[in-house]
Amino acid sequence: MDLRNIAIIAHVDHGKTTLVDELLKQSGTYRENQATTERAMDSNDLERERGITILAKATSVEWKGHRINIVDTPGHADFGGEVERILSMVDGVVLLVDAAEGPMPQTKFVTSKALALGLRPIVVLNKVDKPDAEPDRALDECFDLFASLDADDDQLDFPHLYASGRSGWCDAELDGPRKNLDALFNLVLNHVPAPRQLKHQHEPFKMLATTLGADPFLGRILTGRVESGTLKTGATIQALTRNGQKIEQFQVKKIQAFRGLGMQEIPEAIAGDIVSIAGMSKATVSDTLCALEVDAPLEAQPIDPPTITVTFGINDSPLAGRDGKKVQSRVIRDRLMKEAEVNVAIKVTDTPGGEAFEVAGRGELQMGVLIENMRREGFELSISRPQVLMRELDGVKVEPIEEVTIDVDDEYSGAVIEKLTGARKGELTEMKQQNGKTRIIAHVPSRGLIGYHGEFLTDTRGTGVLNRVFHDWAPYKGHIPGRRQGVLISMDSGQAVSYALWKLEDRGHFFIGAQADVYQGMIIGEHSRDNDLEVNPLKGKQLTNVRASGTDEAVRLTTPVTLTLEQAIAYIDDDELVEVTPKAIRLRKRYLDPNERKRHAKSSKA
């Protein structure tokens, strides 16, 4: 059967997963009466809740006697490690661009990776039926983007289609029949080459492992594209590291291939196909699985380095152990090491005390997703404020710079530009106004963006859209001020009393409500001034045996501010932690005792 391997790449929320749904339906993958779910490829709970793709996933469809392996990739740059590995498995990409928004930061990120590998993209202008769609402008912007990324002549001569993934049609002309996706299927067969590996069928077996999975019965499973040769179930093969060192020799227990949304066992893997292999105990991502006579590993795609680091520690608060079952540092370490093995964009290192671990990654969203997954698995953690990783280049201290693309209503553009280019040390590179909207593009230090998103939503009344992607390393830009407001700290342990909170409302706003469990050193609200203030949320009303002539006024509390996990991590200062348990997210001071806090504050200033 003729074979094609493609990846669908795009900026987040431009419709990749919805388009794959329609490709599955129209290729006859589903039975006519089969119940289907929307965004079938987003199988992970967090993906469904957030409406984003986090993990790359493969599927396979048959069309007119051809098999097309399709990989759905994440759009967020935080999960770029996934995108980079997946692109080395395919022979072509379908670049999806929203006809209203045009190319966005992540479009640029994933396209640069595809062009660097020599892939020739097919551009699909999606959502052309939106009221504000401008497909011609979006197409021109795509050409400009390709040119700015040094695309060669073949890549610049890209074919394009107009589509509405949700409505299930794709046409070569904007005013086409709008019936089905046949035009896309046919273009993939005509434009994307068959895997070059098919010519290497008679060479020894070689495969580069790109994703790692686990099965309760089979154990470790590695997925990748067969680069040469064939492999049968029961064969004995070896695994080599990037440096060519032999890790292990093992017998292949099972070979599975993607068929529709499921996996199907096959007796033999052929060159060019994307398959999963079981039987190994040590081999991992970026290793080469190969025949015993092979001694040179396949070249693995280099991964962009991490830009931020977060400390994961044990939960040592007075409320520790109430919600979660996994609280020991040994269990936390095992889980983080397992994550680092699967996710090549994450690096884990031990700290001197052994009670905490430094986790380096691509961004706050990636860290937030990892913490949320661990929280749901029953872990209790204490999380530090993200720190940006600095480097030394030719004796100069450099820091990561991100390209920030912002779309806001014209009236809010001044406030946004002032915040980015003022204290946050950003540089404005481009500004375009159109139809009452302003697009602002700026290069801002990663340090300046930690905790900015909440402020940005406030400044734009929730209407602004902010996207960011790693741009480059640049000389250190100097001091960037942190949070301006102080915090309200509980001076006692127990349950918060509504009367006490009511009396303290003029001091700031609260993160907790009445009856919430609090402890000494826990942060319960934000102070209205710039200094920290210790307060007593447990103080009840002094009652006497003399009854008042009228009834007491009912205490009416202002609704507390509920911080999400990412907001809490971005909000805290260097001397604070986020306590994460399966049922709660609390903010606290690193040192709970006030005397200890003062002592450490003095020593850090000295």
pLDDT tens, 466-490?
877 778 889 988 888 776 788 999 9
pLDDT score, position 303: 62
539 labeled part of a ligand binding site:
no
Query: What CATH number is given for 391-475 in this structure?
Result: 3.30.70.240
| 342-376: pLDDT as tens digits | 777 788 998 887 788 999 887 777 788 889 889 88
545 labeled part of a ligand binding site:
no
Domain residue extents for the chain? 2-193, 197-290, 391-475, 482-542+555-562
190 labeled part of a ligand binding site:
no
pLDDT score, position 340: 80
Radius of gyration of the chain (CA): 27
pLDDT score, position 74: 63
Average pLDDT, stretch 163-179? 84
Residue type, 601: A
Instruction: Give the pair of three-digit tokens for residue 489.
Output: 């700290």
pLDDT score, position 251: 93
- How many C-alpha atoms does 40 have within 13 Å on its Cβ side? 19
As a whole number of angstroms, the distance between CA 195 and CA 172 comes to 25
388 labeled part of a ligand binding site:
no
| 87-128: pLDDT as tens digits | 888 889 988 888 888 887 677 777 888 888 888 999 999 888
16 labeled part of a ligand binding site:
yes
Average pLDDT, stretch 247-272? 86
246 labeled part of a ligand binding site:
no
- DSSP strand E in 372-482: where? 381-383, 387-388, 391-393, 396-409, 427-434, 437-445, 465-475
pLDDT score, position 35: 37
Where does the pLDDT of residue 43 fall: very low under 50, low under 70, confident under 90, or very high at 90 and above? very low
Average pLDDT, stretch 507-529? 88
102 labeled part of a ligand binding site:
no
Average pLDDT, stretch 230-251? 91
As a whole number of angstroms, the distance between CA 444 and CA 361 comes to 18
595 labeled part of a ligand binding site:
no
In this structure, CATH architecture of domain 482-542+555-562:
Beta Barrel (2.40)
Q: Where are the alpha helices (DSSP H) in 118-230?
A: 135-148, 153-156, 182-191
Judge: domain 2-193, CATH 3.30.499.10.
Answer: no
18 labeled part of a ligand binding site:
yes
304 labeled part of a ligand binding site:
no
CATH: 2.40.30.10, 3.55.50.30, 3.40.50.620, 2.30.30.90. Which one for 197-290? 2.40.30.10
Contact 13, 104 (CB under 8 A): no
Is residue 237 over pLDDT 90? yes
Contact 14, 99 (CB under 8 A): no
- How many C-alpha atoms does 488 have within 13 Å on its Cβ side? 19
